[in-house]
Chains A and B, each alone.
Chain A
Amino acid sequence: KAGVTQTPRYLIKTRGQQVTLSCSPISGHRSVSWYQQTPGQGLQFLFEYFSETQRNKGNFPGRFSGRQFSNSRSEMNVSTLELGDSALYLCASSLAGAPLMNTEAFFGQGTRLTVV
């Protein structure tokens, strides 16, 4: 079965621009989470979507937003890019059915965003 697919793999943007990243979860998975990975801070949680609704949110500014579609695919948008937004953005999907429980999160390979 296909894994989590993130596109694009690499992206270079200029400060002030906006960017949209895409994540296709494993078939049947309804939960999609986004993480920012940087060398100094490790993996930081951005937000989680479940059945098209944002269920959890991390401590990132409003420039970071996301959405989930009816087929569970998710997009993350960052507006007004800053140099500090350069990072690996990882998407993870899980079953997270009801009743909700801790289930294994499967990560994609990430999108490497460089802001210049």
Chain B
Amino acid sequence: QQQVKQSPQSLIVQKGGISIINCAYENTAFDYFPWYQQFPGKGPALLIAIRPDVSEKKEGRFTISFNKSAKQFSLHIMDSQPGDSATYFCAASKRDDKIIFGKGTRLHILP
């Protein structure tokens, strides 16, 4: 049973455009929703995270939008740059439990 569904699998965006990656979860007990960024040959690194008591969190060009009633959350990358080309994973967890990851989105920003 896949508890976190991520889409799209791959995404190509022009430089300066907005990249949007969506995730949906099933378990309403999840209370922590991080996004990880992974470059080739590296382990994933935390990019930004949100808790369900807020609907949006922004850090620089990265924004998480969270819709608790729809059990969906998304990552928006504004003014996308070639250096943002990487694989992005959404994830969810509940206290004292493991982090469940989506299957990842390969993002490619065209120069």
Contacts and interface: CB of A to CB of B under 8 A. Distances in A.
Q: Do A and B bind each other?
A: yes
Interface of A: 4, 33, 35, 41-45, 48, 55-56, 58, 90, 92, 100-102, 104-110
A58 B101 CA distance: 12
B62 interface: no
A90 B43 contact: yes
Contacts of B32: 102
B101 A43 contact: yes
Contacts of A44: 101
A100 B96 CA distance: 6
Contacts of B31: 102
B7 interface: no
A25 to B, nearest CB: 13
B46 A110 contact: no
Interface of B: 31-32, 34, 36, 41-46, 49, 89, 93-104
B4 to A, nearest CB: 9
19 contacts: A41-B103, A42-B103, A42-B104, A48-B98, A90-B43, A90-B44, A100-B96, A102-B93, A102-B94, A102-B95, A104-B34, A104-B46, A105-B99, A106-B45, A107-B36, A108-B43, A109-B41, A109-B42, A110-B43
B99 A45 contact: yes
Nearest to B51: A102
Contact of B98 (A42, A58, A106, A107): A58
Contacts of B97: 56
A43 B105 CA distance: 12
Contacts of B44: 43, 90, 107
B95 A33 contact: no
B104 A107 contact: no
Contacts of B101: 35, 42-45
